[in-house]
A and B are shown apart, each in its own frame.
Chain A
């Protein structure tokens, strides 16, 4: 997948508003593979909505979103499943970690599906993000910040054309934040993936090609 094209897209809940000043909503915007985007937003401007539209689990928007010229409303269940396995990586704001599984099992759950990373590579991620001692800990026992890092590792365990990260470092200290930034850059460059990061303030320092105000 090369491009994501938003044409006059707007969440339905905003439809009643008169003036919308945004670089994303009600614009003609093309996101390209291989480029880094930062979407800055105040709370309640539809940041998570954007991610959910692009990841295909909500459709309450107006306008058109195209993947490589194809309207994503017409994608079938199987096509979405394939996209989520092979093209689109996401780090949810609410993480969607399974508390009853260990940190490593949470990552394995995804990696089993894609077979993308070796166990050694995954453990190296844990090591670099400073949670190596939590590998076999139940996710329920981890702090939100630690869970955020586990979810981040899970996001990297698949081939991606685009990586969405919804407030990835909201609960992470600056040092780990910059480690995450490095890991993300390495992975994205290696795969030539596009990166779309949302933030309401604190954000990972990367070489963004474009900063958009939502």
Chain B
């Protein structure tokens, strides 16, 4: 940038107006970025480690009543009932739990110690997309004779904090459990037996059952119970909006039970999202207003310097060259604001992350990327708009002379 041009054009720059803009835009940007970052950091507290864009699931069963038990009333969902549920406006997708139709016994043993515990068991499966655990080891290969298993996180907690605590037994971490192998013996209807190794590969908060891969279940049911057809007694429903009252009404009317507190967590995150949207909206609004101040200030500046701009254009400076100092000024200010706002968010964040860590120790430290990306997008949008408007204004000065 030409020093002399800047010397001419910086005249009439109003420090008051620019600092007004600076403060307003800084607060606007800060609020927007902080709400984005806060949302990103706080959401896992409610969804307990589920993905950022948490999907909302409801697991449903039919009510088991005393009378029903005596009269042998079925608690199986019929095809029609599933279809009906799927057709509801609040349903996004639906899947049935597939139960195992054969006998299973599982055992844990330490040969060296001569201990062998074994128990009768059952498996269930759901399609992979409904599972809320890492799926990197979640595949069944027939020839390997290993079945991956996911158990509810509750089971581990039950052992660690209930059983092990009271018996002075060692506590087991999730990693340690993953190292243990179970012996699984499957017995078919025709007396066929098969032996497998079971590996616990993950823990689920959402699915309160002992899960095996759908592919294993399909194959095993066909092999060991060829005459039976699996029937759905539990359904998992992905809903669009968990606060939709239509969901509760529908389930109550049909007499279905829902499991877990997913609806509550869903509601909490929904309201959290709502509140943060409002806060971010206010921040954006402030940003827009401050942008307006900046543009007014720059327009005024251009107006006051019109004669100088005209003369510069007349002695051979191009509109682009004349506009450049103002464009650099605004883009520079915006960049400074971006850096300060990001710094401010980082500083504020250091205060609440400690608290979050205490609330939820297993929470991984969230990344700072969403805040940065949002900031950069805002910066680019505002700066480009500034640059464009200044160029247009300078060109209009050129044209005013020409007509």
Give the B-binding residues of A (Cβ under 8 A).
Answer: 55-60, 77-78, 81, 84-85, 90, 92, 96, 98, 100-101, 105, 108-110, 112-114, 154, 158
Contacts and interface: CB of A to CB of B under 8 A. Distances in A.
Given A58-B403, A78-B318, A81-B316, 7 more contacts: A56-B402, A57-B401, A59-B402, A77-B319, A101-B4, A113-B315, A114-B316
B7 A101 contact: yes
B173 interface: no
A112 B401 CA distance: 24
Name the residue in A55, A78, A92, A96 with the highest tally of chain B Cβ atoms < 10 Å from its Cβ. A96
Interface string B357-375: 0000000000000000000
B395 to A, nearest CB: 7
Contact of B4 (A57, A84, A108): A108
A57 B308 contact: no
Contact of B402 (A58, A101, A109, A113): A58
A98 B318 contact: no
A111 to B, nearest CB: 10
Contacts of B250: none
Interface residues of B, number: 20
Nearest to B307: A96
Interface string B230-268: 000000000000000000000000000000000000000
B319 A98 contact: no
Contact of A98 (B308, B317, B395, B401): B308
Contact of B316 (A84, A92, A101): A84
Given A81-B316, A96-B315, A98-B308, A58 B401 contact: yes
6 contacts: A57-B401, A58-B403, A77-B398, A84-B316, A96-B314, A98-B311
Nearest to B400: A57
B92 to A, nearest CB: 55
Contacts of A98: 8, 308, 311
A68 B72 CA distance: 104
Interface string B1-39: 010110110010000000000000000000000000000
B315 A100 contact: no
A110 B318 contact: no
Nearest to A155: B315
Given A57-B401, A59-B402, A100-B11, A112 B318 contact: no
Given A57-B402, A58-B402, A100 B316 contact: no
B388 to A, nearest CB: 16
A152 B172 CA distance: 92
A112 B402 contact: no
Nearest to B399: A77
Given A100-B11, A109-B5, A112-B2, A84 B315 contact: yes
A112 B316 contact: no
Name the residue in B7, B315, B317, B403 with the highest tally of chain A Cβ atoms < 10 Å from its Cβ. B315
Nearest to A56: B402
B316 A158 contact: yes
Interface string B295-319: 0000000000000100110111111
Closest 9 pairs (CB-CB, A-B): A84-B316, A81-B318, A85-B316, A96-B311, A57-B401, A109-B4, A110-B315, A113-B316, A59-B402
A112 B7 CA distance: 14
Contacts of B318: 77-78, 81
A96 B311 CA distance: 6
A96 B317 CA distance: 14
Nearest to B4: A109
A154 B315 contact: yes
Name the residue in A57, A58, A110, A154 with the highest tally of chain B Cβ atoms < 10 Å from its Cβ. A57
A47 to B, nearest CB: 17
A84 B314 contact: yes
Contacts of B395: 77
A57 B315 CA distance: 11
A208 B8 CA distance: 38
Contacts of B8: 98, 100-101, 109
A59 B402 CA distance: 6
Name the residue in A56, A98, A109, A158 with the highest tally of chain B Cβ atoms < 10 Å from its Cβ. A109
A154 B2 CA distance: 17
Name the residue in B312, B314, B403 with the highest tally of chain A Cβ atoms < 10 Å from its Cβ. B314
A78 B316 CA distance: 10
Contacts of B403: 58-60
A7 B31 CA distance: 64
B316 A110 contact: yes
Given A98-B311, A100-B8, A101-B7, A113 B401 contact: no
Contact of B314 (A55, A78, A108): A55
B317 A113 contact: yes
Contacts of B402: 56-59
A154 B315 CA distance: 9
Contacts of B4: 101, 105, 108-109, 112
Contacts of A58: 401-403
A58 B319 CA distance: 17
Interface string B371-403: 000000000000000000000000100100111
Contacts of A78: 318
Contacts of A100: 7-8, 11
A56 B311 CA distance: 13
A155 to B, nearest CB: 9
A100 B315 CA distance: 16
Interface in B96-135: none
